C-alpha cells in the first residue's frame, strides 16, 4: 500500500458544527502532516507529528485540534470554524528519520464553512 487516504473528500459545515477529518497511511511512515491550501496558493503547513508526538504547530488557531491515535492515523478535529477556513486540507506522510524528506500527499478534503 503506497498511498495516503483522506476522508471525507468533501465536507460542508456550519460555524457551530464539530467535525473531523481523517488521514490514514500504511507505509510505515513515522511523520505525518496537516496542510491547508487556499485556491491558487501553495500548501501552508499546520501541524507535524513525528513518532506520534506533535512536533510542530505553526501557530494554528485552537479551533483546529490535531490528534494522532497511532502511527497510521491522523485526525483533525474542527470546531467553531470561520468561513475563511474554507480550503483544501491536505495530509502528508514521510518515512521519518533519515536524510530523504520527501512527503507523500493524500488527495485532500475540500472543506466549505457556511
Residues that bind other proteins (CB under 8 A): 4, 6, 31, 40-43, 45, 48, 50, 55-56, 88, 90, 92, 94, 99-108, 110
Residue with cell 485532500: 108
Q: Using the 8-state DSSP alphabet, how is residue 51 labeled?
A: T
Shortest distance, position 20 Cβ to other proteins, whole Å: 19
The grid coordinates of residue 22 equal 481523517
Of 60 and 80, which CB lies nearer to other proteins in the complex structure?
Answer: 60
Distance CA 105, CA 114 (A): 27
Of 80 and 103, which CB lies nearer to other proteins in the complex structure?
Answer: 103
Of 16 and 100, which CB lies nearer to other proteins in the complex structure?
Answer: 100
Closest CA to 93 of 34, 52, 47, 32: 32
Amino acid at each position: 500500500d503506497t498511498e495516503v487516504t483522506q476522508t471525507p473528500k468533501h465536507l460542508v459545515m456550519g460555524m457551530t458544527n464539530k467535525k473531523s477529518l481523517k488521514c490514514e497511511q500504511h507505509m510505515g511512515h513515522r511523520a505525518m502532516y496537516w496542510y491547508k491550501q487556499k485556491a491558487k496558493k501553495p500548501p501552508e503547513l499546520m501541524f507535524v507529528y513525528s513518532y506520534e508526538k506533535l512536533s510542530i504547530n505553526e501557530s494554528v488557531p485552537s479551533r483546529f485540534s490535531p490528534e494522532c491515535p497511532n502511527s497510521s492515523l491522523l485526525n483533525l478535529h474542527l470546531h467553531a470554524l470561520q468561513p475563511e477556513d474554507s480550503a483544501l486540507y491536505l495530509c502528508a506522510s514521510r518515512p521519518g528519520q533519515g536524510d530523504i524528506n520527501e512527503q507523500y500527499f493524500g488527495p485532500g478534503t475540500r472543506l466549505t464553512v457556511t
